[in-house]
Every structure is written in C-alpha cells, then in structure tokens.
Chain A
C-alpha cells in the first residue's frame, strides 16, 4: 500500500547569531495558512537535574516562570493582559526537558510577545507566587497522585521502581519532604544555572516572519551564558526475576503496570521495528491493541489494556503520544486499566502470557502486514497542529536525528520485514525479568497468592464462549515465578516520601 505523506513541511534548523559570539539554536516551522504563532522554548533541564533533597525543583522553577509575576507585571496584571487574547503560556517539565510554550493569534502577537519574553527573561520570583505554586505541587503529590487516580499512581510508582537509584526515579513533581524544603533561593539558583542562552533551543511555528525570529533571538540572547553539566544517562539496576510492588489502598479495583528499562530510543536501528511490534501488542487507547482484544474485548475485564516503548505521561488524558518528553533511556511498559480485585492475579497472568507469546512466537505475517498498514495512516493523527509538529521537531533535535521523524515514519514502516520485526521483539522484549506494580486492597493476600503461584480461576458474572473459557484454564495456572523476597508491600501513604 502506498504510504501517505504528511503535508510538506518547511522545517528549518537554523543557527541564528544573537549579538554575541554564541549562536542560538532555532527550529522554525513556517505555516503561512496558520493564523497563529506557536512558540516552544526548550531548556535542557528536567527533573533529572533536581538536586538531591530538592526533588521537584525543576518543576517548581518552570511554574515560577510560566504561572507567576514578572519584574514588569504582577501575576494579576499578566492574567488581565492575556485575557482579551484568550492566550497564555505554560510550562511542561519531564525528566530531561523543560518547555516554555505558548500560542497566540497573529493579531495579538505584539502584546503577547512582550509578556512571553518577560516571563522567561525577567521572572520576579515573588514570595506570594512561590507559596501558591508550591502549595499546588504539594497538593498534587499528597492527595491527587496518591488517592484520586489509581492508574497514574501505578504508572508513576512503576517508573520510580524501575529507575530506583537514578535521577529518573522520582516523580517530576518531586517528593513530599523535598518540595516542602525548597526555598525561593533554590529556585533563583536553579534558574540562573539552567536558563541560559547556551542551554535553550528555540522553536517557532506558524505565520511569523524573519524579523520575528531575529527579534526573539536578540531578546533571548540577554539570558546569561553557561553550559550546565548534565548527568549521565541513567543506568537502572538489572532486574532479576519478577519483582513486585504492591501498594495497599482501599480500592474496589486493581490498577496494574509492569515493565523494564529499554535501551533503544528514536534513531536506533530497531526503533521502528519495535514501534510496530508494540503497536500490535498495545496501541495506546485503540481497540486494535492485542492486549485490549484479549482482556477487554473477549473477557470484558476492564476498560483498556495498552503497552509502550516510550514514556507516555498523562496517558489517561491523551489520545496520541505527547512530544517533548524525550529521554535517553526509555522503558517498556504495559498498562492494565483497573480490574475487579478478585480478577487481579488472573489479569496479570493474562497480560504477561500474551507478552511471552509475542516474544517466543513473534507476529504472524498477517498481523505484521495489518499493523504496518495501520501505522502508515495512523501516524497522520499524531501531530495535526503546528504546535504539535513543532514539538516533534524539537524531539528530533534531542535525539540527534538527521531526518524528520514524522515525515519519514511511513517510509521506515514500509521498509520493515517480518523477520526484522520479530528479531527486534526478541532482542529488546522479554518477560522473565520485570518490575510489576499493583495498586490494590488486601495486598497481603495477593502476596501470598503470588508467592504460592496459586491458581487464579476466573469467574465471570456473565456467560463466555467456550474458547475463552478453555483458554482461561491455561491462564489461571500460567506460571509467574515470584520469590517472597521480591515482593514489597507499601501503604499508599508511604509513596512519594524520601
């Protein structure tokens, strides 16, 4: 089948002189028909740069830029000025990247631009803003993340579990005591160190002109110089066997996440092959996902079942992969949306068993062809807006790609062969050495069942076809070898503390 190409994108990588010996890195994405201008400033800093004991500092610093007063205007005044434009700017922080981004209609560019640049160049770092934003960050960690969304809790806990001992371990929002200990001076020092003209890549998209690019670069050149040191890519400890973290919580259903670190990232030779394999196994929020077909469609056990080869924060809110959460180390993970507590052991078995079948047997020719056909059109939905395409373009810079990831995506999928794809699955995926997180009630009972490898027959409230019931018998006794010393039980109140 012929691949469909994205509209031609005049994507340019520029080095723009900014009035000094240094040049700013600039990515431009001109789209004359777009009546808006999109800005994404990528500062090469993220939660991996949080000092020990100050976890959450990168996130709080970014908020103090994007959601607080500047030296020219109080936060109230900024809101007043932005209001008639229905425009704003915001910050997105991940492990390695911080993005200050905004979008405005070109009619309002002049007034908007001043506010945007002042936010980056002249943050006021006022005590009142600091108190407000710190309180929000703490509330997120203490209440929202622990209690109000078991799925996000499980995924965050898995990331922490897999990357334990590395700068990727803690949540971007930080740890509770650490956030409490952050002072305004910490924010000022962090800003001085990382928000430099040598540490930024500028992204501009939409209907701007060259003068605008020059002006933005001239203004950003007023940032101080400095190339901050960066931590080495994280090296999580190898996982031996199945290691389980059970988070005890009073809940009617169990959220399950499991996975392991992954060495390959965009640009690696197996990357597209693995993307295809993963799409077949667990395309995010798509009924084409094999796990979805097995667990939800045939058995009605939950709302959805997906897998990932790249970090996918905010998965319950997003339909397509987010941009600018690029990382030098990725993880493979499976996300089983909550199942009834009594079905938790069975659901875990069913998912791991499917992973095993994939690794051991590979995809069939038919599954391979269907998934390739799917992806060659599905990718069209990944980034329909200028702002989103600009995000992908910055990720291309992060990964050092010499091609446009999105534009070239269908070509790479077209070039794949079944043996290549199955070899990639065998090389990079496995099912024996994984970390597993389950948010559940009565964790001790589950611990006993897991250690005993006790059968977990599935009982349905409604009749099921014979073929499903026959397969269930195999799933119910599928061997998941877990040693007692490899199971930890923690209370939800103990999460996200140092």
Chain B
C-alpha cells in the first residue's frame, strides 16, 4: 500500500502542519493526548487555521446506551437538554454568550456517541472552555424547560417521518436485533418520545451516570498551543468527579437464520431494498474489521461489477452502496439500493447475493485491493482540511476507542489485509443465516 503516491500525500500534508511530536502514521497532524486524573481524555491537535478553533466534546453514550425499557431516544433528547444551561449560566445566558462570540455551536447524537461541537475564534477559547466545563459538570434545568424541550424533539421526529429512509431504518433495526439496544433508532420509538415530558427525574439520573469525565473525549483542534491548552483543561475540568456507571446492554443472541421484512411507506418512493448482515465490533488491529471496511467498497462501490451492471449498464437501480463500518458493539453491514421496477426487487436482491458469492468464491486481485486502499486513504486525507472536519472525522473513532491512536492503527491494519482475507471475511460474515432483508415500497 505504501506506494509513492501515499508517501507523497503524507509528505505534502505533513509539510504544513505545526511543529510537534514526531509521528509516523497516516494521520497527518502531530497531536497531544492526555488523560486527566479524573479520567477525562484530552486531545489537542494544532493545525494551520488562522484564528479558528474547533472544540468537540464526544460523550461516549448514544442510543446504544438506552438499555432501560421505555427510554429509547433519550440520549438524543438529552443532547437537547444540554443547551438549557446551569445555575451560573442559565440557557439564555449561555446562548447570549455564544452569540456574542459568534460561535457556531451545535450537537448531534448517534448510536454510539453524542457530540457537542463548537467553532470559535481562538481568542474565545478560554471563555468557551469555562462555559463548556460548567454545563458538563453543573447542568441545571427545571421541569418546565424539560417539558418544553420535549416538544421540540417531537417536532424533530415529525419532520423526519416524511422520509422513507426513516421508515426503513426503524424496520431494519427492529428486525435484525432482538435483544441489543441497536434494536431502536437514535431518535427512538414514537411512544417513548411522546412519553418524554414525564421523565424529568430519569433525565437527572441519565446525566449523573453518563456525563462523567471518564466517559468523555475532549478534542480541541486548530490554531492552538498544546501545553497551554492542556493547562486550561486541567484548570476548568480538573475538579470534575468520576462516577460513570456503564449501561447494562443485553448481548444480541447469535442470529440463526435469515430474516425478511417489508414495510409500506405512505408517500411515493421507488422500492428500497436493503440486505444487511451482522457486523463486527470495532477494533483497529483486527484484520477482519479492516477487511470488511475494504470489502464493502470493493463489492458495492462505484467501480464494483454490480454497480457497473445495475446502475450504469442495465440501469435497473437508482444507486447501490454499502456501509460496512464497525460499531462499538457488533451492528450491521448494510447494502442499500433503490430499484426502478417493483417487479425487479427480488431479482436485484439475487444480484446482490451473487455479487457476494463472487467474492466468496474467488479472491479479489491484488491490484483491485491496492486501488481500494488508495481510495480509502485519499478519502480520509482529503477531508482533513479544516479543524471542524478533522475533529468531525475523528469523533466516531474517539467514541469507539476513547482516543484517536486507532486511526493510525487501523490504516496500518489495512496494509496487512490480503486478497485471501477479503475472501475469508466474505465467507465468514456475509452468510444467509446472519442476513436480514428489508424492503420498503410506497403508495405508487
């Protein structure tokens, strides 16, 4: 993999980064990582971005951690509550200070983590840190504010209901999982969302258990100086007490047979077909994980045989793509497509099976594998050109492992993957007993 192109890419990217610790992996910026006594992980990544800083707080709690019945969607709802302020800086004051600083402050929630991100001017770093450390340690809101925010979350749910992809996601997860919390989407079950206004007390316990320093990775990227920044972090976050209580997530029993489901979407859509297989927990040193990442794009990417056949030549589908990324616990490898003719859905499904069979029967060529590795590398490197994109692209890695050393490790593992590994993981994971097929059709 380390052909001349890769070396040049690395050299070019390294050529403009700030001076720092020598660093030999693919990740182009030297960085400082430190774990405070209370377990808070701090990562400071200086990069050229005059005057701009990105401030990411990655809470390693997402909808995966919603293990108690009736509380699906709570991690996302809680993300909203984090903007309601503290006794020292109530929500309106927090908003006003952020406005004064012209900061771009927002947040999102996923299955594995919740991410709070702020784009700010360098001169405001200490003020932002004071505000952020305050709300993560001392969040305070009354029941009235809590109930009002539940209305906004309900509105968010309603706006996304119009999409057939939402309908699909709900059905796919509920079919593929029977015990693990990956059964529900991040926004949660409707009845749970509607019951949220009654969960004020629970919300306080959620904060106490999950919003703790040892469950959080703080990433500060951009026009910053590592030593001074880490000193500031110690000043503002050093008093924060440990207290993380891990969720009691039921393991998913091994799937012993194919599952099939169908759902009708009330608007109009071309039929959507998804074929999903039970996936893997992320580990940056696991060759199987690296091989699956590569296999997804090799088998279903824009240069795959099935893409050429179904999208370009025969034009039977609008698109086809795959997501074979790993999660904190084993989740799904999913192939998505949109079929132009409802009568062709089963045939397209069989084409997907055949495409997988081809990778199981015969090892991919070394050349194709090398090309895929190059694509994976450049896709990653090309998207690291602003502090926000650097932090944004690292957030999931930080959430899955608690740090970002895994990036270099994963790319090193990519180099170890052989054509035989690709064939082996295709045989091992993409099997019918671990498969869930879901179709969505509209009211055509």
> Which residues of chain A have a CB within 8 Å of any CB of chain B?
4, 6-7, 33-36, 75-76, 79-80, 83-87, 103, 105-108, 128, 131-132, 135-136, 139, 142-143, 146-151, 250-253, 255, 285-288, 296-303, 319, 337-340, 370-371, 373-381, 384-386, 460-465
Contacts and interface: CB of A to CB of B under 8 A. Distances in A.
Contacts of B270: 139, 143
B379 A107 contact: no
Contacts of A380: 51-52, 102, 119, 121
Contacts of B197: 461-462
A36 B382 contact: yes
B416 interface: no
Nearest to B120: A377
A266 B105 CA distance: 27
Interface in B329-365: 340
A51 to B, nearest CB: 26
Contact of B121 (A4, A139, A149): A4
Contacts of B104: 286, 319, 378, 381
Contacts of B98: 287-288
A298 B148 CA distance: 7
A337 B95 contact: no
B311 interface: yes
Cβ-closest 3 pairs across A and B:
A377-B102, A300-B151, A147-B267
A105 B303 contact: no
Contacts of A79: 302-303
B51 A147 contact: no
Interface residues of B, number: 76
A135 B303 contact: no
Given A36-B382, A287-B95, A377-B103, A76 B162 contact: no
Given A253-B161, A300-B148, A385-B386, 13 more contacts: A36-B382, A108-B378, A252-B158, A301-B151, A303-B159, A371-B99, A377-B121, A378-B104, A379-B102, A380-B51, A380-B121, A386-B385, A463-B147
B155 A84 contact: no
27 contacts: A33-B15, A33-B16, A34-B385, A36-B382, A85-B378, A105-B382, A128-B315, A135-B315, A143-B268, A146-B267, A147-B162, A147-B268, A148-B164, A150-B159, A151-B159, A253-B158, A253-B159, A288-B99, A297-B91, A300-B151, A300-B155, A302-B159, A319-B106, A378-B102, A380-B119, A462-B147, A464-B148
Contacts of A463: 144, 147
The dominant DSSP class at the B interface is helix
Given A147-B269, A287-B83, A303 B51 contact: no
Contacts of B312: 75-76, 128, 132
A384 B49 contact: yes
B155 A103 contact: no
Given A84-B374, A370-B100, A462 B158 contact: no
Contact of B385 (A83, A151, A385): A385
B152 interface: yes
Given A83-B303, A150-B162, A462-B197, A33 B48 contact: yes
Interface string B276-318: 0000000000000000000000000111000010011101001
Contact of B318 (A80, A83, A136): A136
Given A303-B159, A319-B106, A36 B378 contact: no
Contacts of B101: 374, 377
B102 A375 contact: yes
A131 B162 CA distance: 28
Nearest to B83: A287
Interface of B: 5, 8-9, 12-13, 15-16, 48-52, 83, 91, 95-96, 98-106, 119-121, 123-124, 144, 147-152, 154-156, 158-159, 161-164, 197, 266-270, 301-303, 308, 311-313, 315, 318, 340, 371, 374-379, 381-382, 385-388, 442
B374 to A, nearest CB: 4
Contacts of B9: 35, 105, 107
A251 B160 CA distance: 11
A34 B382 CA distance: 10
A248 to B, nearest CB: 13
A100 B151 CA distance: 42
A340 B238 CA distance: 44
B268 A146 contact: yes
A149 B159 CA distance: 8
A103 B381 CA distance: 13
A374 B50 contact: no
A83 B163 CA distance: 30
Nearest to B198: A462
A7 B155 contact: no
Contacts of A151: 159
Contacts of B382: 36, 86-87, 103, 105
A381 B149 CA distance: 27
Nearest to A7: B50
Contacts of B52: 380-381, 384
A339 B155 contact: yes
Given A35-B16, A300-B151, A370 B99 contact: yes
A103 B308 CA distance: 24
A132 B307 CA distance: 13
Contacts of B149: 300
A343 to B, nearest CB: 10
Contact of B13 (A35, A75, A381): A35
A6 B49 CA distance: 10
A135 B340 contact: yes
Contacts of A384: 49, 52, 386-388
Contact of A76 (B152, B308, B375, B381): B308
Contacts of B147: 300, 461-463
A6 to B, nearest CB: 8
Contact of B152 (A302, A370, A371, A373): A302
A98 to B, nearest CB: 23
Contacts of A34: 385
A301 B377 CA distance: 44
B90 to A, nearest CB: 12
Given A4-B121, A373-B100, A461 B151 contact: yes
A131 B102 contact: no
A40 to B, nearest CB: 16
A337 B318 contact: no
A143 B165 CA distance: 13
A354 B309 CA distance: 55
A106 B159 contact: no
A400 to B, nearest CB: 28
Contacts of B102: 373-380
A103 to B, nearest CB: 7
B162 A148 contact: yes
Contact of A296 (B152, B302, B387): B152
A148 B100 CA distance: 37
Contacts of B151: 299-301, 460-462
B148 A299 contact: yes
A255 B375 CA distance: 40
Nearest to A148: B163
B386 A106 contact: no
Nearest to B158: A253
B248 to A, nearest CB: 30
Contacts of B48: 33
A338 B266 CA distance: 18
A253 B334 CA distance: 31
Given A35-B15, A302-B155, A303-B156, A84 B302 contact: no
A139 B72 CA distance: 34
Kindly name the residue among A139, A300, A376 whose own CB sees the greatest number of chain B CB atoms within 10 A.
A300
A39 B269 CA distance: 35
A105 B13 CA distance: 10
Contacts of A252: 158, 161
Contacts of A76: 303, 308, 312
A323 to B, nearest CB: 15
Nearest to B155: A302
A456 B195 CA distance: 26
Contacts of B308: 76
